[in-house]
Amino acid sequence: MDAAAAELASGRSFDTLSLREVAKLAGIAPTSFYRHFHDMEGLGLALIEEHGTTLVNLMHRVREQAAEGRSVIRTSVETLFDYIFGNQGMSRMILQESLSRQSAFRSAAEKLLVTMSRDLAEFLVWDADRRGVPLGHPRLAADSTVAILFTTGIALLDTPAEERERYIEAAIIKVRMIMRGSEAMGQA
């Protein structure tokens, strides 16, 4: 799994990755691969699974901590972007597979994004209630936010360092814009 993740991080797409290659990088014989996974598909699913739970837990924790103090939006965006930066290969893979054709990968990746969206929606509703500001279509707002953050985050990876700060600020504005829109729709 480490070998595959490392190769993904260096830009390779998962389906150009061969069983033999992964085995060689992991320092085992090609045939020994089968002791661990039935397939390359098995490997891919295990990778998505692992990073998925990590990511979901991470965002959970961030929202709990951020409630006391700084802007939740800013903290969440920055944390997610940090994670994407630290796990470039996997993040790219998850988003790309969620856009692929019906397959085990696509289901796994989509499940993760849906979970993140559902969790975020739950938080948004709770937070809006607390502030007494009704939201319109909170689930759709969360959906949009997750989509925007992932696409922006991935795009950020190949952006020259000096422009990154500007892009992150732009992402924060985008999220705020969605929230404002949702609030406006909640009042109507």
Contact residues for DNA (CB under 7 A)? 18-21, 27-33, 35-36, 39-40
Q: Are 47 and 90 in contact (CB under 8 A)?
A: yes
Contact stretch for its own copies (CB under 8 A) within 9-17, 46-54, 78-86, 116-124: 9-17
A 10 A CB-CB count for 65 gives 13
Q: Kindly state the helix (H) or strand (E) to which residue 165 belongs, with its residue range.
A: helix 161-187
184 makes contact, choosing from its own copies, DNA, none, with CB < 5 to 8 Å by partner type, with its own copies
Q: Identity (one letter) of the amino acid at 21?
A: E
Nearer to DNA, 42 or 181 (CB): 42
Q: How far is the CB of 73 from DNA (least distance, A)?
A: 43
Give SS3 for 67. coil
Q: 108 to 137, contacts with its own copies by CB under 8 A? A: 110, 136-137
Residue labelled with tokens 């992150």: 168
- H helix intervals, 10-39: 19-26
* Closer residue to DNA in complex, CB, 42/186: 42
What is d(CA 177, CA 152) in angstroms, rounded to the nearest whole number?
Answer: 15
Name the residue nearer to DNA (CB basis): 29 or 173: 29
Question: Of 2 and 158, which has the nearer Cβ to its own copies?
Answer: 158
- Scanning residues 76 to 115, which ones bind its own copies (CB under 8 A)? 92, 95-96, 98-103, 106, 110
Which string of b and e fits 138-158 if b means at least 16 CB within 10 Å?
Answer: bebbbbbbbebbbebbbebee
Nearer to DNA, 19 or 67 (CB): 19
Q: Please, are residues 38 and 120 in contact by the beta-carbon 8 Å criterion?
A: no
Residues lying near its own copies in the complex (CB under 8 A) are found at 11-13, 15-16, 92, 95-96, 98-103, 106, 110, 136-137, 140-141, 143-144, 147-148, 151-152, 154-155, 158, 170, 173-174, 176-185
